[in-house]
Amino acid sequence: MADHVLALNAGSSSLKFALYELVDDNRPSMRWRGQIERLGDAPRLLAQSAGGRSVDRPLSSTKSHDEAIHAFLEMAREYLPDIHVCAIGHRVVHGGTVYSEPVRVDDTVINILEGFIPFAPLHQPYSLAGIRAASAAFPGTTQVACFDTAFHRTHPWVNDTFALPKSYYDKGVRRYGFHGLSYDYISNKLKETAPGLYDGRVVIAHLGNGASMCAVSGGRAVASTMGFSALDGLPMGTRCGQLDPGVVLYMLQQDGMTAEEIAEMLYRKSGLLGLSGISSDMRTLLAADTPEARKAIDYYVFRIRRELGALSAALEGIDALVFTGGVGENAAQIRQMVCDGMRWIGIEMDHARNADGGTVLSTDFSRVRILTIPTNEEMVIARAAVNFLE
Ligand SMILES: Nc1ncnc2c1ncn2[C@@H]1O[C@H](COP(=O)(O)OP(=O)(O)O)[C@@H](O)[C@H]1O
Ligand SMILES: CC(=O)OP(=O)(O)O
Ligand SMILES: [Mg+2]
């Protein structure tokens, strides 16, 4: 039986997965890739095989990440009965200051990762649930944790700290940054396909249900819009993004909200959902055409432009802007709204190229190259898992 590696990526609205056969010296070659998307809303299982088979079916009873993992494992048993899985890699959102590289999972590692749950309550429990479910389904198989925070460990101190007493920095209250597996993939893709840009100053916009942007110089992360938690920076599906801490004090002191109520508000009721009152899903908002949906989109786009200016300052210039994530890869209208407000910085979009959805979206004369690159966090996870095989 051929050896395979499985990659699991628990996002806030989805469980993504990919199965790779190991060919020529353990190179992962994709066999199946898919996701259970719209978790908690209208979950659907979508998957494609390299050989052209596809699965697309609603999962009406699958509401939570736990249920999604079990639905996935059931599908795996149904469609992939005869494979040997020799390693399983997991996206783990928070590695704290402890992990700047992937690590083989054991009980000690799990204990340390559980300690980071309060830093990423919308993600870390799902990553750990994935590890537990996969350990039970594939006992004895090597499990590898790959961290969203790891790519950002190169931020200079000014982009790693808050202006609080030093004791906070020392106990881990820092700007960690997330979506690092996606930034790692995009950065390596640039190295392969556009080495001149890889060596330059690049802003990557990962716009999914969670959204962040990262400034990368010569392949090294310099700054990110996400900070201590996955709440900061851009507005997201249900998260508020950048918020004056005075608003949290107001909620506590004037509105008398509890800490749990505030967490629920900032993580699950804000962002596109809170502003529009309709949905957290950009597809729904683009189709809705109500004043509230338009205002939510305007705010989203405006914050992306502001952060683009700020990250360009962190890089002392910009050579390329890369769009990725569910919105970045698919929503031409959002990309156009972002770019049309950034001509002053040398970003000039070719609207026909943007509508066609190819890789290069800038005009031939644009000083800044605009690209769309579909992310592939699962490939980064699979490559890391292979490195742990004997
Ligand atoms: N065709 C599309 N047009 C606009 N937005 C889209 C489209 N397809 C997906 N999206 C957006 O992408 C989001 C999911 O992005 P994704 O990166 O998969 O999320 P996550 O990994 O954070 O769960 C959805 O919430 C939806 O808003
Ligand atoms: C960190 C984060 O927000 O991840 P996701 O986009 O998968 O929700
Ligand atoms: Mg994601």
Domain boundaries, the chain: 3-147, 195-372
The CA distance from 196 to 369, in Å, is: 11
* pLDDT over 90 at 14, yes or no: no
Among 133-137, 160-164, 238-242, the least confident range: 133-137
Q: Kindly state the DSSP code that residue 114 receives in the 8-state scheme.
A: H
Contact 228, 168 (CB under 8 A): no
Contact 43, 37 (CB under 8 A): yes
**3-147 against 195-372: fold identical:** yes
The CA distance from 90 to 88, in Å, is: 7
**Confidence tier at 214 by pLDDT (50, 70, 90):** very high
Residue 6 is encoded by which pair of tokens? 């499985």
- Looking at ligand 2, which atom is closest to the CA of residue 93? 1
Q: What is the mean pLDDT of the chain?
A: 94
**Confidence tier at 348 by pLDDT (50, 70, 90):** very high
Q: Higher-confidence residue: 81 or 163?
A: 163
pLDDT at 355: 98
Q: Whose CA is nearest to atom 7 of ligand 2?
A: 11
The CA distance from 96 to 173, in Å, is: 10
**Confidence tier at 310 by pLDDT (50, 70, 90):** very high
The CA distance from 254 to 79, in Å, is: 55
**Confidence tier at 298 by pLDDT (50, 70, 90):** very high
The CA distance from 292 to 275, in Å, is: 7
How confident is the model over 244-270, as pLDDT tens digits?
A: 999 999 999 999 999 999 999 999 999
ipTM of the complex as predicted: 0.97
Among 47-61, 177-191, 213-227, 361-375, the least confident range: 47-61
Residue of 152, 145, 229 whose CA lies nearest to 183: 152
pLDDT at 74: 79
pLDDT at 2: 83
pLDDT at 71: 82
**Confidence tier at 199 by pLDDT (50, 70, 90):** very high
* pLDDT over 90 at 80, yes or no: no
How confident is the model over 286-295, as pLDDT tens digits?
A: 999 899 999 9
* pLDDT over 90 at 386, yes or no: yes
Task: Give distance in angstroms: CA of 389 to centre of ligand 1.
Answer: 33
* pLDDT over 80 at 81, yes or no: no
* pLDDT over 90 at 138, yes or no: no
The CA distance from 184 to 180, in Å, is: 6
Element (H, E) at 265: helix 259-268
pLDDT at 1: 77
* pLDDT over 90 at 40, yes or no: no
The CA distance from 28 to 6, in Å, is: 10
* pLDDT over 90 at 356, yes or no: yes
Is 340 assigned a catalytic role?
Answer: no
Q: Which ligand is nearest to the CA of 148?
A: 2
Domain 3-147: homologous superfamily in CATH: ATPase, nucleotide binding domain (3.30.420.40)
pLDDT at 295: 98
- Write down the pTM of the prediction: 0.95
Rg of the chain over Cα atoms, rounded to whole angstroms, equals: 20
The CA distance from 16 to 130, in Å, is: 11
Domain 195-372 has CATH 3.30.420.40: yes
How large is the average pLDDT for residues 188-197?
A: 97
* pLDDT over 90 at 328, yes or no: yes
Residues with CB under 6 A from ligand 1: 11-14, 208-210, 237, 281-283, 286, 325-327, 330-331
Q: How many CB atoms lie within 10 A of CB 183?
A: 30
**Confidence tier at 34 by pLDDT (50, 70, 90):** very high
The reply to whether 377 sits in an annotated binding site is: yes
Q: Which ligand is nearest to the CA of 212?
A: 2
Among 113-127, 330-344, 349-363, the least confident range: 113-127
pLDDT at 33: 94
Ligand 3 (ion): which residues have CB within 5 A? 11, 208
pLDDT at 203: 98
pLDDT at 149: 97
